[in-house]
Amino acid sequence: MNETDAAFVRRALEQADLSALRMALFQATHDPEIAAMVPEPKTVRGGAGVTYQLSEKYRKALLEKGVEFLTNGFENFESRVPDDREVRTLMEMAGDPLDDAEFRARREIPAFDPFPWAAKWSGKRPTLPEDFLVVIVGAGFGGIGMGVQLENLGIPYVIFERRAEVGGVWSINTYPDARVDTPSAVYEYSFEKSYPWTEYFAQQREVREYIEYIADKYGVCKNLRLSTEVKGARFDQATSRWRMEVVGVDGVKQAVTADFVISASGLFASPKQLEVEGIDDFRGGIVHTTAWSGDQDVTGKDVAIIGNGSTGIQLLGQIAEKARKVRVFQRTPQWISPREQYGAPVSDEVRWLMKHVPYYWNWSRYSGALSTMNLYGLLIPDRDWQAAGGIFSKQNDAVRGFLRDYIKDQVDNRPDLVARLTPDYPPFARRMIVDNGWYRALLRDNVELVTDPIARLIPTGIETSVGSQYHVDMVVTATGFSVEKYVWPADYVGLGGVHLQDRWAEDGVKAYMGMMVPDFPNFFIMYGPNSQNTSGGGAGLPTQIEIWSKYIASVIIATIENDCTAVQVEREAFENFNKRLDTVAQGTIWLVDESSSGRNYYVSRGRLLVNQPWPHNEWHNMITRPNFDDLNMATHSNPVARARCPIDEPTVRSVGLS
Ligand SMILES: Cc1cc2nc3c(=O)[nH]c(=O)nc-3n(C[C@H](O)[C@H](O)[C@H](O)COP(=O)(O)OP(=O)(O)OC[C@H]3O[C@@H](n4cnc5c(N)ncnc54)[C@H](O)[C@@H]3O)c2cc1C
């Protein structure tokens, strides 16, 4: 190594996450002196999570160990995939002792295996009928992740995407400062190692490019049919296949027959448009954030931003830099939190560490995930704590105190703003929003916070319920999405001619494990009702997607390997699952707290809709091991009779559950 290289390595080590560096170096060298550098727990964001950090007193010694390792022929070092026992020992070295359930839930976060969530055939891949086909609807993170899973298994599939490019929400949402608000280190698939993100929280364009890169690298592109919309599908009982209606480029209709259909059509696919009196009389422009195209010029204009969820918060700063005046219309104040490294670039040196230092990427991923491991205490009220004068729970109240102080600090303690910006419900009752400088932007001379309800649009602007009128040239509606419209507007017709949307309109929008609905054999939903895990576990949405895709692929494999052609969830299992879910949900922050219930998109018509309500370990256990007792497999001629295939139970149970 020459001098310049050595200087670069030293600079890189100076910038390393010390905990991750310690774990990587220990795993590579087993140096007992490194093991003796014990990290300490540190709460983050007022108690929202705990990380384990290495004291600065070890910095110098650790860096010297790093220099020694990296300047002595480490290029020839061969990384190994550690077994369970080694991973567990290492994880305990990185933090606290883990019980079995906790270890299982964390096992794949450092992602040592090439494909941590790969489903597997129990033996050799069986020969499939020549026209066998799985259809995936949508090419966002869900559809592409599912495609990678099927590609690896050698199962024929096609992905229909109605847009002209892949990316889903990351192709659609191009509004100013659109970016992830969960760190890119966890907002990525675990099978793609050391992706060279340029920012810790990647911007929209980079995330879209990432999905394109994955689709290309993992062989999914050849099976993509862009500008092609699935209008609907009908299950044909006689053949156990779905007859699909698909409209391709130039509106050409195609009939497609599929053995399995997987809807990965997204939770945020149906924008909620502004509905307010006078909208037709308004002479200015109205643009929903999903329709932002870059053609909108706000320079010198009077702009109104309606909605202060994650999107409305992100776009204020950049719009305010150009507009003459921006008025932020706020209905409900949100809890908005700072995040370390938000907006910060990843230096060349850190990217080098990720790519070249054995195990560093794995441990920085784990280290980043640690702070979001145990969030359940934030979601469940503590009655004893409340009886002693607390508001919700010790952990939740601590975060609340931290965020209240943060608001005061950010708005220079201006009493008019502090009062209107501080929510009266506990943090985490709604999606926690990340601050990209929103509070500071409110202090600008050309920005005004309006909290009086909007009464109507008038030709020249907006009138509030107290009669104030504001001149507006352009309304930006950051009003979010109709999340209850799962798989909409595609029309899926199951056994007995039942339409999925009708079933849901009657019985409520429900699924088993978020994925399956009785009478809809061979049909799965990704990111379906109650599938989002917000109770911790450190896994970002792409990892949740990988887990769903493994579950779905495991069920498809089991069906094929048992010579069956149809699989669906038993009605009783579906009912029991949802009964249990609703009971647990009643005790969570989303429903138990009157001040928050019904005021967020997680809840619809009084029922928890988007999230799963269990502690993450329990959920992880359910979602990573299909319970085949709950599923009904049938032969092609008689899926309705619910006759189980003549299958040998142990074979079924062993399939794809590694
Ligand atoms: C602005 C924004 C920011 C977000 N930021 C984060 C974040 O920071 N962290 C996080 O964890 N999550 C975030 N999310 C949530 C995000 O939805 C998920 O993380 C993830 O991208 C969802 O992927 P998906 O494939 O399930 O859905 P989508 O990305 O919505 O993809 C669905 C695709 O299906 C297509 N489609 C739908 N119906 C049909 C049909 N009938 N025929 C053909 N194609 C169809 C759509 O065109 C779309 O391309 C964000 C969401 C939004 C809207």
| pLDDT tens column, 452-477 | 999 999 999 999 999 999 999 999 99
d(CA 268, ligand 1 centre) in Å = 6
d(CA 208, CA 170): 5
pLDDT tens for each residue of 324-340: 999 999 999 999 999 99
d(CA 73, ligand 1 centre) in Å = 44
d(CA 260, ligand 1 centre) in Å = 21
Nearest protein Cα to ligand 1, atom 2? 169
d(CA 169, ligand 1 centre) in Å = 4
Nearest protein Cα to ligand 1, atom 41? 230
pLDDT tens for each residue of 271-297: 999 999 999 999 999 999 999 998 899
d(CA 340, ligand 1 centre) in Å = 25
pLDDT at position 654, please? 27
H or E element at residue 410: helix 394-410
pTM: 0.94
d(CA 341, ligand 1 centre) in Å = 24
pLDDT at position 5, please? 87
Closest atom of ligand 1 to 163 CA is 47
pLDDT at position 536, please? 80
d(CA 182, ligand 1 centre) in Å = 15
Long-range pairs, 468-471, Cβ under 8 A, ≥24: 470/302, 470/304, 470/327, 471/302
Give percent of the chain with pLDDT exceeding 90. Answer: 84
pLDDT tens for each residue of 247-257: 998 889 999 99
> What's the pLDDT band for 646 if we cut at 50, 70, 90?
very low
pLDDT at position 71, please? 87
pLDDT tens for each residue of 174-198: 999 999 999 999 999 999 999 999 9
- In the three-class reduction of DSSP (H, G, I as helix; E, B as strand; rest coil), residue 1 is classed as coil
pLDDT tens for each residue of 478-515: 999 988 899 999 999 999 999 999 999 999 999 999 99
Closest atom of ligand 1 to 201 CA is 8
Nearest protein Cα to ligand 1, atom 27? 266
d(CA 522, CA 262): 8
State the average pLDDT for the chain: 92
d(CA 631, ligand 1 centre) in Å = 28
> What's the pLDDT band for 640 if we cut at 50, 70, 90?
very low
pLDDT at position 597, please? 59
d(CA 568, CA 511): 11
d(CA 172, CA 139): 12
pLDDT tens for each residue of 1-52: 666 688 999 999 999 999 999 999 999 999 999 999 999 998 888 877 888 9
d(CA 173, ligand 1 centre) in Å = 10
d(CA 33, CA 64): 12
Nearest protein Cα to ligand 1, atom 11? 541
* E strand segments, 599-644: 603-604, 607-608, 631-634
pLDDT at position 656, please? 25
In the predicted structure, residue 91 carries a pLDDT above the cut 60: yes
Closest atom of ligand 1 to 181 CA is 8
d(CA 7, ligand 1 centre) in Å = 43
DSSP 513-565: TTTB-TT-TTEEETT-TT-B--SBSS--HHHHHHHHHHHHHHHHHHHHHTT-S
- Burial of 222 (C-beta count, 10 Å sphere; 0-12/13-18/19+): exposed
Closest atom of ligand 1 to 175 CA is 1
**Probe target for ligand 1 pocket from 262, 265, 435, with the most ligand atoms within 8 Å of CB:** 265
Nearest protein Cα to ligand 1, atom 52? 169
Q: Which residues contact 405 (CB under 8 A, 6 or more apart)?
A: none
Pocket, ligand 1, Cβ cutoff 6 A? 137-143, 160-163, 168-169, 173, 178, 180-182, 187, 229-230, 264-269, 311, 490, 526-527, 540-541
Q: For residue 440, how far is the Cα from the chain centroid?
A: 27
d(CA 159, ligand 1 centre) in Å = 15
d(CA 290, ligand 1 centre) in Å = 12
Q: Which residues contact 129 (CB under 8 A, 6 or more apart)?
A: none
pLDDT at position 414, please? 96
Nearest protein Cα to ligand 1, atom 8? 180
Nearest protein Cα to ligand 1, atom 10? 541
pLDDT at position 47, please? 78
d(CA 144, ligand 1 centre) in Å = 11
Gyration radius of the chain over CA positions: 26
pLDDT at position 6, please? 87
pLDDT at position 304, please? 98
In the predicted structure, residue 657 carries a pLDDT above the cut 60: no
**Probe target for ligand 1 pocket from 229, 268, 313, 534, with the most ligand atoms within 8 Å of CB:** 268
> What's the pLDDT band for 649 if we cut at 50, 70, 90?
very low
> What's the pLDDT band for 57 if we cut at 50, 70, 90?
very high
d(CA 626, ligand 1 centre) in Å = 25
Closest atom of ligand 1 to 269 CA is 30
pLDDT at position 490, please? 97
Q: Please check whether residue 462 is in contact with residue 472, taking contact to mean a CB–CB distance below 8 angstroms.
A: yes
pLDDT at position 510, please? 97
pLDDT at position 647, please? 31
Closest atom of ligand 1 to 145 CA is 25
pLDDT tens for each residue of 537-569: 777 899 999 999 999 999 999 999 988 999 999
Closest atom of ligand 1 to 540 CA is 11
